[in-house]
Amino acid sequence: MEFKNSYLQGVYDTVARRNQGEPEFLQAVREVLESFEPVLEKRPELAETGIIDRIVEPERFITFRVSWVDDSGKVQVNRGYRVQFNSAIGPYKGGLRLHPSVNASVIKFLGFEQVFKNSLTGLPMGGGKGGSDFDPKGKSDGEVMRFCQSFMTELYRHIGPDTDVPAGDIGVGAREIGYLFGQYKRLTNQFTGVLTGKGLTYGGSLVRTEATGFGLCYFTQEMLSVMKKDSFAGKTVVISGSGNVAIYACKKATELGAKVVAMSDSNGYVYDPAGINLDVVRQIKEGRRGRIKEYVEAVPAATYTEGCRGIWGIKCDIALPCATQNELDGADADKLIANGVMAVAEGANMPSTPEAIEKFQKAGVLFGPAKAANAGGVATSGLEMCQNSMRYSWTFEEVDQKLHDIMVGIFHNAYSASQEFGAPGNLVMGANIAGFLKVADAMKWQGVAY
């Protein structure tokens, strides 16, 4: 699809030429640039000062070799990445992903999205992202530790509490953050808040584990309340994934009165019409890193179906995709719409394809885009940085209240921007514009040579 605005078309063409063979990154850039058409009508100086030409090019992109020794004594080699995308409003901030699908395109798409998401939180954080094609699945604790130590042995020279503060993402939880932090401390002889998602005994924040899933539900609750005068109470919910985001989305949605009937992993999904028993899921996933199909051994009334895609055929009022990018396409959107879905909010990053988003919007389904809806994780990471700087810890209730207020604020920022720029209720556009304007103004004030 061509852009109406020739300047934006030119920016996109340059990005496409420079980043050939990187479909995820181009998909993310296209979606954001499409939102800028009405902005440029009101703020032409953003084109004249080259803000948009600059914002699509990472400030720094680092790749490195990560070699480590497996349990059989064999040397293994992976590739490590860190993109430092934009530091206009604060130190680079964004997670590390360990998954075999990680490549330059995935890291750049995630880093680009992170710039706008972090801005939306209202906290002073720039955008970054990193990771490796290392697959933690099936690896021993010792192998994961040796990988993390090798990864940090290169990464440490590029990061710091006032420079770049990584966190977790797919495949990076408390165990990996611990190994990474330990190695950073050994190498630098400094105990600082250089990573977030740390354990509670060494500088972590309460609520960080729950934050993305809880935040997703706070955002969705506000979206339902303002745009449909409704709530989670009494609703049937389907959640894809069964990792960190999915588990805590399930917990909060249930606390808010909904019934979650299905969850998945990359092999398949479980359907439990009585409502998912989260203790069972947590024992499988957090306890022994097992597969979701084991759920039916503990809950015989539930059913397991091979293939994760089928989950979108289950009838529900609210769908929360919380697994990975492009996991919900146009055909899945058709099924959800035919089954009467009223709201979709993204826990994962870019889980819906552009075609799926268009279908939801045309059908009048409330749609909460990832940048806004899943910003609770990085927002609470920002609160962890704040507590580390103060050398102090807030209580669970204090952090949870701040998270709640931030998510409600993000919804209203995105909603107001959608109204101000002529697309009322289009939160994709609203989130992109609201996130962008703050970064754009900071870039303008800081001049060109950086």
Q: What is the DSSP string of 50-99?
A: THHHHHTS-SEEEEEEEEEE-TTS-EEEEEEEEEEEE-SSSSEEEEEEE-
Angstrom distance (rounded) from CA 344 to CA 405:
21
Among 15, 26, 170, 414, binds ligand NDP (CB under 6 A): 170
> Smallest gap, in angstroms, from Cβ of residue 448 to ligand NDP?
32
Q: Which span (33-41, 186-194, 217-225, 235-243) binds ligand NDP, by CB under 6 A?
A: 235-243
DSSP code for 171: T
Residue 349 makes contact with ligand NDP by CB under 6 A? yes
- The nearest distance, CB 291 to ligand NDP, in angstroms, is 7
- Out of 129, 235, 259, 371, which one is annotated catalytic? 129
To which residue do tokens 């397991």 refer?
304
Alpha-carbon gap, residue 266 to 77, rounded angstroms: 25
Q: Taking contact as CB under 6 A, which single stretch among the options 7-15, 155-163, 319-327, 411-419 is the one that binds ligand NDP? A: 319-327
Indicate whether 204 belongs to the interface with ligand NDP (CB under 6 A): no
Q: How many CA atoms lie within 13 A of 192 on its CB side?
A: 15
Residue 173 is encoded by which pair of tokens? 């939880």
174-204 b/e (C-beta count within 10 Å ≥ 16 → b) = bbbbbbbbebbbeeeeeebbbbbbbeeeebb
CA angle, residues 156, 60, 19, in degrees to nearest 5: 130
Single out the residue of 347, 369, 430, 435 in contact with ligand NDP (rule: CB under 6 A).
Answer: 347
User: Residue 47 or 110: which CB sits closer to ligand NDP?
Assistant: 110
* Token pair of 240 as six digits: 């894809």
Minimum Å gap between C-beta 423 and ligand NDP is 24
If you count them, how many residues does the chain have? 450
Nearest approach, Cβ of residue 308 and ligand NDP (Å):
4
Give the residue, chosen from 78, 149, 196, 212, that forms a contact with ligand NDP under the rule CB under 6 A: 212
| Cβ 115 vs Cβ 126: under 8 Å | yes
Member of 113, 143, 169, 317 binding ligand NDP (CB under 6 A): 169
| Binding track over 356-375 against ligand NDP, x by CB under 6 A | ------------------x-
Direct distance between the N- and C-terminal alpha carbons of the chain, in angstroms, rounded to an integer: 32
> Which amino acid is present at 58?
P
Structure tokens, 131: 């990771």
Instruction: Find the binding residues for ligand NDP in span 242-301 (CB under 6 A).
Output: 242-246, 265-267
Taking CB under 6 A as the rule, does residue 377 contact ligand NDP?
A: yes
Member of 8, 308, 314, 328 binding ligand NDP (CB under 6 A) = 308
The yes-or-no answer on residue 129 being catalytic is yes
Cβ atoms of residues 350 and 370 within 8 Å = yes
β-strand 268-271 against 236-240: which pairing, if any? unpaired
Q: Is 171 in the site for ligand NDP (CB under 6 A)?
A: yes
Q: 22 or 265, CB closer to ligand NDP?
A: 265
Which is closer to ligand NDP, CB of 348 or CB of 440?
348
The binding site for ligand NDP (CB under 6 A) comprises 168-171, 212, 241-246, 265-267, 308, 322-324, 327, 347-349, 374, 377
Catalytic residues: 129
